[in-house]
Amino acid sequence: MSAFTEKLLARAMAFAALFVLFASDIALAQGKGHLEVTTIVQKEILVENEDGDSEKQLVVAETVIPGERVVYTIVFENVGDAAAENVVITNPISESLTYVAGSASNDSMKVEFSVDDGKTFGLASELRMVDNGIERPATTNDYTHVRWVMQNELEVGAKGSASFAAVLQ
């Protein structure tokens, strides 16, 4: 097996492990009885339209190769019998992925990032790293988690979604 094939296989396994992590997060949220959470993983592809122009489309990410852009959409619904307060949706970013700057979306939620495996979170502009004793601003390569903090209660039956994009390295 070539070194390239081994590297590709290792990345595919890391990607599969990420699916398992999402599945366990979903079970945990459902077990609490307040939120039902589903994660949809898609990748961007270029499709040629009738005019011969190329346009981006999202398709189910059955396989992903290095360099491809993947979009994670987290869909949630309050299935409890009371409004949900302090709703926070947190997603890890696998080491084999690099977050795409500015791609985390949800207008009604505050978006924060972590560079220390989810121990602390902050706005992208606030994050700092220390390399060889020298402090520097964090880059998207440093992000380990993205989270969305809801600013209001999530009423019974209310639904929402949040998303972000990353590139497989």
Q: What are the strands of the beta sheet with 109-114, ordered from one edge?
A: 88-92, 145-150, 109-114
Does the global pTM surpass 0.85? no
Q: What is the mean pLDDT of residues 129-151?
A: 96
The pLDDT of residue 3 is 46
- CA triple 13-14-19, angle to 5 deg: 95
- pLDDT at 95 exceeding the cut of 90: yes
Rg value, the chain, Cα:
18
pLDDT of residue 33: 57
Cβ distance 151 to 110 under 8 Å? yes
Contact between 109 and 150 under an 8 Å Cβ cutoff? The reply is yes
What's the structural domain count of the chain? 1
Q: CB–CB of 76/147 below 8 Å? A: no
3-state helix, strand, coil in the chain (%, to 5): 20, 45, 35
Integer angstrom CA distances of residue 41 from 69, 90, 97, 98:
11, 15, 13, 15
Task: Report the pLDDT value the prediction gives residue 9, as an integer from 0 to 100.
Answer: 39
Confidence grade of residue 32 (pLDDT, cut at 50, 70, 90): low
| Residue 92 confidence (pLDDT) | 96
CATH number for 74: 2.60.40
Q: What is the mean pLDDT of residues 34-60?
A: 92
Q: 161 lies in which domain range?
A: 3-168
Q: Calculate the average pLDDT of the chain.
A: 84
Q: What is the pLDDT of residue 26?
A: 39
Q: Which tokens in the block code for residue 20?
A: 């398992």
Look at strands 35-48 and 69-78 and give their pairing. antiparallel
